């Protein structure tokens, strides 16, 4: 609202988890802070053209584009020169992509599933997703485009793990199958992981992923 937006627009933004960031939980990277402010400024400039549903579609698409741009193999996302109709068209295309099943792809597990039985990790579980259909269900539940990674997983370039607490999906993790290096950790609508979530992921890597990779290398 200090940037010039209306209360209605502020309420629209607050409905999208990826754009509601608690600075006491998640450290704002400079690039995300710049992206966040640029997105708000674009929405303010185009607030009279969109309704609630369109705003959510645009925010879904924008956070996806920003996240993909962070991977280093494509230019960073920018709002410069983007008109409303073009953005809305891209947003609708992105929604259709998320809803498209990828059930033809199936791949082997890496043995990284984990359900800890000791405190303080009780209640958490890590479930590797090994089919396009499983990725589709994850993407539908988490409102992101993980289904689009099915071909990468089938080719052995990525591994996707669903992180859950008391059977509720919390995070989707992408990592390199050969090294166990984390590529992405995202929650619903591509939100960042909280400090507690980061700790349990580190424990999983230390207790399960890296020891198994070392064992396979011997």
The secondary structure of 73-127 as a DSSP string is SSPPP--TT--HHHHHHHHHHHHHHHHS--TT-B----S--B---STTSTTEEEE
The pLDDT score that the predictor gives to residue 33 is 85
Give the separation between CA 218 and CA 214, rounded to whole angstroms. Answer: 7
Residue 194 counted as domain residue = yes
The pLDDT score that the predictor gives to residue 77 is 93
Are 131 and 201 in the same domain? yes
Q: What is the pTM of this model?
A: 0.71
Helix 52-69 × helix 84-99 angle, to 10°: 80
Residue 118 counted as domain residue = no
* pLDDT higher than threshold 70 for residue 27: no
Query: Which range is least confidently modeled, 64-68, 84-88, 172-176?
Result: 64-68
Are 64 and 11 in the same domain? yes
Are 92 and 166 in the same domain? no
* pLDDT higher than threshold 80 for residue 103: no
Are 135 and 207 in the same domain? yes
Where in the sequence is the domain holding 129, given as residue range(s)? Answer: 124-217
Residue 108 counted as domain residue = no
Are 13 and 84 in the same domain? yes
Q: Which long-range contacts (CB under 8 A, 24 or more apart) does 91-95 make?
A: 91/54, 91/57, 91/58, 91/60, 91/61, 92/57, 94/57, 94/60, 94/61, 94/64, 94/145, 95/57, 95/60, 95/61
Are 132 and 72 in the same domain? no
Are 88 and 138 in the same domain? no
Mean pLDDT of the chain: 90
Q: Name the percent of the chain lying above pLDDT 90.
A: 64
Q: Name the percent of the chain lying above pLDDT 70.
A: 94
Residue 171 counted as domain residue = yes
Q: Which residue has better confidence, 21 or 167?
A: 167
Per residue in 32-81, pLDDT (tens digit) is 888 999 999 999 999 889 999 999 999 999 998 998 887 766 788 999 99
Are 95 and 166 in the same domain? no
Domain count within the chain: 2
């Amino acid at each position: 609202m200090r940037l010039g937006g209306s209360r209605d627009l502020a309420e629209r933004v607050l409905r999208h988890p990826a754009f509601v960031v608690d600075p006491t939980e998640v450290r704002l990277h400079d690039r995300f802070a710049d992206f966040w402010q640029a997105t708000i400024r674009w929405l303010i400039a185009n607030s009279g053209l969109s309704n609630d549903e369109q705003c959510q579609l645009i925010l879904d698409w924008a956070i996806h584009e920003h996240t993909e741009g962070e991977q280093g193999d494509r230019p960073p996302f920018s709002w410069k020169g983007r008109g409303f109709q073009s953005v809305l068209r891209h947003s609708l295309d992105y929604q259709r992509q998320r809803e498209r099943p990828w059930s033809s792809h199936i791949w082997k597990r890496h043995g990284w599933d984990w359900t800890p039985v000791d405190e303080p990790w009780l209640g958490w579980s890590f479930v590797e997703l090994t089919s396009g259909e499983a990725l589709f269900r994850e993407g539908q539940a988490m409102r992101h485009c993980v289904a689009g990674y099915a071909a990468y997983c089938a080719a052995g370039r990525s591994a996707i793990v669903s992180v859950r607490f008391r059977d509720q999906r919390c995070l989707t993790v992408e990592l390199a199958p050969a090294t166990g290096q984390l590529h992405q950790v995202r929650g619903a609508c591509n939100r960042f992981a909280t400090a507690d979530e980061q700790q349990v992921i580190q424990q999983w890597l230390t207790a399960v992923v890296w020891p198994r990779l070392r064992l396979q290398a011997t």
